[in-house]
Amino acid sequence: MTVASVALAQQQSSGEGALSTLISVVLTVIFLAAGWKLFTKAGRAGWEAIIPIYNTYVMLKIVGRPWWWLLLLLVPFLNIIIGIIVANDLSKSFGHGVGFTIGLILLTPIFLLLLGFGDSQYHGPAAA
């Protein structure tokens, strides 16, 4: 390998790193904006959406689940099932059905934006 080819490889890898960082930042901003609007629609303060762990606790309150479900989310494999249940409860809390739940699971950023910025209205905790 020549010095030029090593330099070219380093430039390409740093460009890929910058692109993945940019994508991560954009997705993070999307999640924060959608969460902020979603929490506001549910009658909570928007800033609660940006605090890690606490935002999950508040989300459980929005959908009507008890606080100790936060502990269940720490259990491997069980957290997947609990996440699906919470997504379904969130969908029902905003007046949507199973189709919207599937959207929340498979295309989370898009469907969170639809909940936050769309015309969906919060109807209260579905699991209460």
Contact yes or no for 39/63 (Cβ under 8 A): no
Render pLDDT for 2-15 as a digit per residue (tens, 0 to 9): 555 444 455 555 66
pLDDT of residue 12: 54
Check residues 128 and 37 and name the one with the higher pLDDT. Answer: 37
Average pLDDT, the chain: 89
Contact yes or no for 37/116 (Cβ under 8 A): yes
Would residue 121 be called left, alpha or beta, if left means φ above 0 and alpha means ψ between -120 and 50 degrees? beta
pLDDT of residue 2: 58
User: What is the mean predicted confidence (pLDDT) over 82-99?
Assistant: 96
Counting residues of the chain whose pLDDT is more than 70, the rounded percentage is: 88
- Interaxial angle between packed helices 78-93 and 54-63, expressed in degrees from 0 to 180 and rounded to the nearest 10: 50
Q: Model-level pTM? A: 0.80
Render pLDDT for 66-75 as a digit per residue (tens, 0 to 9): 999 999 999 9
Render pLDDT for 17-55 as a digit per residue (tens, 0 to 9): 889 899 999 988 888 999 999 999 999 999 999 999 999
* pLDDT of 101 strictly over 70: yes
pLDDT of residue 3: 53
Q: Measured in whole angstroms, how far is the alpha carbon of residue 80 from the centre of its chain?
A: 14
Check residues 16 and 40 and name the one with the higher pLDDT. Answer: 40
